[in-house]
Amino acid sequence: MFRRFAPTELSQLQPQRICLIKPSALGDVVQTLPLLNVLKQKFPDAKISWVINRELRDLVDGHPALEESIPFDRRGGWKAWVGLLKTLRQRRFDFVLDLQGLLRSGVMTIATGAQVRVGLQTAREGSHLTLNSVIPNTIRDMPAHTRYWQVAEVLGLGSQARDTFIATSSADQTWVEQQLQRLPRPLFAVHPGARWETKRWPVEKFAELMRRACRTWGGSLLILGSKAERPDADQLSRLLNSTSDFPVPRHVVNLAGESTLKQLAALLSRVDFAISNDSGPMHLAAGLGAPTLGLFTCTSAIRSGPPGDQHEMVSTTVSCAAGYHKTCPHHGAGHLACFRELDVERVWMGLQRLVQKNGIERMVA
């Protein structure tokens, strides 16, 4: 039976090796990133490792507060799983922070053999049984970014600025320069995709929204997304380039599936505005300082939106809003009613508010 630690005791510890377990997803990893500086400031002599999905490793590699990233292959099979657990045991961690709170992260936590094992109140699938300290005020109904930041609060550094730092190379910056070469400002980054069907506001509506934006402010559009989201990005590009009243078709650049995570981060740090469904790229854009318009159909803007008054969140008002359904629970006329209810006019009003409060005059070349 291991010793229990009260949250108030954590700030008095002097760990030498810290393991942060947060394998996924992209948006959650982005919202966790500011904790790296907190942990390093509180425990300057400690070496910090992060267990993260291999495809997201780029987000954290190179961070000055991080000693190493330990890749997790979710589909790697038993051999990869056993190898990971062996690595975690060999590192001899003495402080583990499990921010995933699932069965697999609980197994990772146990495998470390660490004396101090900290998690959140949202831990489930039995992972709470592996913890000997739970951060208070971390219930599921609160904003995710606030829940993660409670770690900083417990460590006495809650007033510290949240820095979402992603290390990029000169090659990443050169790639961005090539994409933005001669593009007039303002630069609008648009992400029409999402993993869940119920998060994907119709591409046709994105096209109408961006037609209005370009008629009003000019500028350029950068369409973003993963390789899997390329069909939606291609459709949006076709709709914009085939419209006779769209101002300058050559200022639509489709980059879906064309960038690494570090290149995407470098790009988003340079855009003037981002428009996105509730997704990882939305959080990445907001975390890197781009004023962001988030569209929420099946999820909650309060629970899942980014922090910061410079952003705008627009949500549907249907009865099942914020139900977190990966597929629509309704059939017939009610199927994906949230897409119809959240019309272009309301999103356009949100975009106008975003531009108004962040200013556009300084961005127009």
- What would the pLDDT profile of 136-181 be if each residue is shown by its tens digit? 999 999 999 999 999 999 999 999 999 999 999 999 999 999 999 9
Look at residue 333 in the predicted model and tell me its pLDDT.
Answer: 87
Name the band, by pLDDT with cuts 50, 70 and 90, for residue 327: very high
Answer yes or no: is pLDDT of 364 > 60.
no
Please state, rounded to an integer, the average pLDDT across all residues of the chain. Answer: 94
**How remote is the C-alpha of 132 from its chain's centroid?**
28
> What is the mean pLDDT of the segment spanning 254-265?
97
Beta strand 116-120 with 133-135 is parallel
- What would the pLDDT profile of 232-243 be if each residue is shown by its tens digit? 999 999 999 886
Answer yes or no: is pLDDT of 81 > 80.
yes
Q: Where are the alpha helices (DSSP H) in the chain?
A: 26-32, 34-42, 77-90, 103-112, 144-154, 170-180, 203-217, 230-241, 261-268, 280-287, 301-304, 337-341, 344-358
Look at residue 72 in the predicted model and tell me its pLDDT.
Answer: 96
> What is the mean pLDDT of the segment spanning 345-356?
98
Residue 138 near residue 147 (C-beta atoms within 8 A): yes
Bridge partner list, 96: 19, 117
Establish whether the linkage from the previous residue to 15 is cis, with ω within 30° of 0. no
Write down all domains in the chain, each with its CATH number in brackets. 7-154 (3.40.50.2000), 171-363 (3.40.50.2000)
Q: Which residues contact 128 (CB under 8 A, 6 or more apart)?
A: 101, 106, 119, 134
- Pick the closest to residue 207 from 234, 240, 184, 253 (CA basis): 240
Look at residue 362 in the predicted model and tell me its pLDDT.
Answer: 42
Look at residue 241 in the predicted model and tell me its pLDDT.
Answer: 86
CA–CA separation, 135 vs 163, rounded Å? 21
Residue 39: count other Cβ atoms within 10 Å of its Cβ.
22
Residue 19 near residue 49 (C-beta atoms within 8 A): yes
* Long-range contact pairs involving 53-58 (C-beta distance under 8 Å, separation at least 24): 53/23, 53/24, 56/23, 56/24, 56/26, 56/29, 56/261, 58/260, 58/261, 58/262
Name the band, by pLDDT with cuts 50, 70 and 90, for residue 247: low
- Pick the closest to residue 98 from 73, 125, 64 (CA basis): 125
Q: Which two tokens stand for residue 204?
A: 């046709």
- Pick the closest to residue 32 from 119, 125, 151, 117 (CA basis): 151
- What would the pLDDT profile of 28-68 be if each residue is shown by its tens digit? 999 999 999 999 999 999 999 999 999 999 999 999 999 99
Look at residue 360 in the predicted model and tell me its pLDDT.
Answer: 74
> For the chain, what percent of residues have pLDDT higher than 90?
91
Predicted TM-score (pTM) of the model is 0.94
Bridge partner list, 309: none
Look at residue 361 in the predicted model and tell me its pLDDT.
Answer: 53
CA–CA separation, 108 vs 302, rounded Å? 30
- Pick the closest to residue 17 from 90, 101, 84, 100 (CA basis): 90
Amino acid at 141: D
Residue 238's Cβ-count burial label (10 Å; 0-12, 13-18, 19+) is middle
- Count of alpha carbons within 13 angstroms of residue 13, beta-carbon side: 22
Backbone angles phi, psi at 274, to 5 degrees: -125, 140
Answer yes or no: is pLDDT of 94 > 50.
yes
Establish whether the linkage from the previous residue to 265 is cis, with ω within 30° of 0. no
CA–CA separation, 96 vs 287, rounded Å? 25
> For the chain, what percent of residues have pLDDT higher than 70?
96
- What would the pLDDT profile of 192-230 be if each residue is shown by its tens digit? 999 999 999 999 999 999 999 999 999 999 999 999 999
Look at residue 365 in the predicted model and tell me its pLDDT.
Answer: 40
Answer yes or no: is pLDDT of 359 > 50.
yes
